[in-house]
Amino acid sequence: MNINEQIEKEMEKFYNSVYSKGVKGLNLIPLFKKCVMNLSPQQYQISVQGLKQIVNTPEDKLTVIMIDKICKVIMNVPFKLLYKNFEEAIGDQLKIEKFVIEFTNYVDSFQKELQVKRATLQSLSPNGLRIIPKA
């Protein structure tokens, strides 16, 4: 297995892992459904099968890639389409925004870690491409 294949495998494993930190109490799925109803398919770019998979997944079992899609959709809908008044919007969005920032930092940290790992493996590899598979 070459370095790029190993990094891609680790990235795929990460994006398919469950992310539940801070999800409890946010009601992400109902909010996501409401947001999808207020956007055109071109804006959220998720297949119908993908939408079904997300909304049928318990919130404590959502994967990193699902959370990423949910956050992108939620952050692209104007407050006026989701809330009755400004106070309700601000209260709810403060929690969502905090969650999105923490989630984004988590993903960014993993990506940086993977970049360092790739660079290290390439510098240690005799031809820059091959690595010794894990036992």
Q: What is the pTM of this model?
A: 0.84
* CB neighbour list of residue 48: distance below 8 Å, 6 or more residues apart: none
> What is residue 128's predicted lDDT score, i.e. its pLDDT?
52
> What is residue 111's predicted lDDT score, i.e. its pLDDT?
95
Give which of 76, 75, 63 is closest to 106, Cα–Cα: 63
> What is residue 127's predicted lDDT score, i.e. its pLDDT?
63
> What is residue 73's predicted lDDT score, i.e. its pLDDT?
95
* Ordered per-residue pLDDT tens for the chain, 135 residues: 788 888 999 999 999 999 989 888 899 999 999 999 998 888 888 999 999 999 999 999 999 999 999 999 999 999 999 999 999 899 889 999 999 999 999 999 999 999 999 888 888 876 655 555 555
Instruction: Take residue 111 and report the two structure tokens written for it.
Output: 């990506």
For the chain, the distance separating the N- and C-terminal CA atoms, rounded to the nearest angstrom, is 12
Instruction: Take residue 76 and report the two structure tokens written for it.
Output: 């692209």
Contact, 23 vs 62, CB < 8 A? yes
